[in-house]
Amino acid sequence: MPTRRCVFPLLATAAGLATPAPGRAHPRSTAAADWPNRPVRYIEAYQPGTATDIASRLWCMTMARLTGRPFAVENRAGAGGTLGAAAVARAMPDGHTIGLGSAAALAVAPTLFPRLRYEPARDFTLISGLAMAPNLLAVRPDLPAQSVPDFLRLLSRDPGRHHYGHFGLGTTGHLAMELLKSRAGVEVEQVAYAGQQANYDLLAGRISALCGPLPGLIAAIQSGQVRALAVTTARRSRAVPQVPALAEFLPGFDLGGWAMVVGPARLSPSLIRRMHDVSRQTLARPDLRETFRQMGVEPWSAGLAELEAYRAEQEALVAPLVRASGARVD
C-alpha cells in the first residue's frame, strides 16, 4: 500500500493529525473503559507522506478527537514495514503503544525474511482493520489490450516479449502478478523498481504493464496517461468504479495491500474490545471515509475474528508465491 504519489495534497488535511481538541481529564486508571488514560504512541511503519502514513494520521486524529487523548505518530520505517512491526511487538501490553501492521509485515514477511524477529500469529494483538488498497494492473495506452482478456491473450501469443514493472520483490504488486501468471497460465517478465521510475518507464513504453498501489496511479488514470485494466482485489474500488476487479475474470482473485491497527500480544480481552469499538466509530466517520476514498483506499471495519482469519489466509496465499519467485531478504 505505501506510495508517495498523489497523497501530498492531503498533507494539509493531515497536518497535526495526532493533536486532539482539548480533552477531558481522566483519573489514572487501568480499567479498559478508561482507555486511553494518557497519550497513545502509534508506530507508523512507513515514511511520512506515504498512503499508509496519511491513513494512519487520519485515524489517529479522529481517535484523539473521540477519546480526548493525544495519539502521537512515530515513523519507524524500513525493511518492508517489519522494523515498525517489531517495535510494536516489543512494547508494553497496556494499550498505549500500538501501530500499523501491513500486508508486507504480517503476511509476506514470514516467508520473505528467513530471520524475522517476530511471529505474526504469536506476537501481536490484532485490534482493528484500518484500510485496504488494491493494486492496479495498468498498461501503456498504445498496447493493443483494452481489457484483461485482451492482455492475457497478448501474453499468450507473445511469451517472453512483454515486461511488467513493480515496486520491489515481495511487494503485493509483485505477488499479485505472480498469482495472475499462475492462475492464467501466462508468462511476462518482471522489472523491479525502487521508486517512481516504473511510472515513467511505462509512459515511455519501456515496459508494457505495471502493477502497483492504486493511490500512486490515480492521477495517471484520470489523465489518460495509462490504461487501467483491473484492480487486484475481490471487489472494485470506489475510487475508480469503472475499473473491473480481477476476480471478475478469475474468480476468487484477491491480493492487494491492507493495513491493520495492531498492538503487542497479551492485551486483555476487555481492553481489546474497547480499542476495537472506538476504532470502528472512527472508521465510520464520513469525513475520514471520504478522504480515504480520494486517496484510493477503503476503510476496513472488520470484526476481531475476521482480522486473524484474513491475515492467516493471506499469509497462506502469498507464501508459495514468494518461494516460487525466489524473493528473499537476508
CA distances from 284 to 236, 260, 300, 302, 305 (A): 20, 15, 9, 12, 19
Residue 257 confidence (pLDDT) above 70: yes
**What pLDDT does residue 156 have?**
96
**pLDDT above 70 for 3:** no
Check if the beta carbon of residue 174 is closer than 8 Å to that of residue 166. Answer: yes
Contact call for residues 31 and 95 (beta carbons, < 8 A): no
pTM, 2 dp: 0.88
**For 163-184, what is each residue's pLDDT tens digit?**
999 999 999 999 999 999 999 9
Chain mean pLDDT for the chain: 90
Of 6-15, 181-190, 251-260, the one with minimum mean pLDDT is: 6-15
Nearest to residue 186, comparing CAs of 211, 166, 212, 162? 162
Type of residue numbered 327: A
Measured distance CA(27)–CA(23) in Å, rounded: 13
In angstroms, the CA 91 to CA 98 distance is 8
Among candidates 161, 95, 94, which has minimal Cα distance to 128? 95
pLDDT at 22 over 80: no
In angstroms, the CA 141 to CA 221 distance is 10
Is 70 exceeded by the pLDDT of residue 53? Answer: yes
What mean pLDDT comes out for the span 35-59? Answer: 96
Please check the confidence at residue 232 and state whether its pLDDT lies above 90: yes
Domain annotation for the chain: domains and CATH numbers: 8-24+39-133+256-325 (3.40.190.150), 135-248 (3.40.190.10)
* Closest C-alpha to 202, from 229, 179, 184, 180: 229
95 contact partners, CB below 8 Å, separation of at least 6: 35, 36, 40, 263, 267, 271, 275
Angle at 140 between CA 137 and CA 141, to 5 degrees: 115
Specify the DSSP class assigned to residue 78: -
264 pLDDT more than 60: yes
Report the distance separating Cα 309 and Cα 6, nearest Å. Answer: 32
pLDDT for 87 equals 98
pLDDT at 197: 87
Helix 172-184 with 304-325: angle, nearest 10 deg: 70
| Residue 70 DSSP SS3 | coil
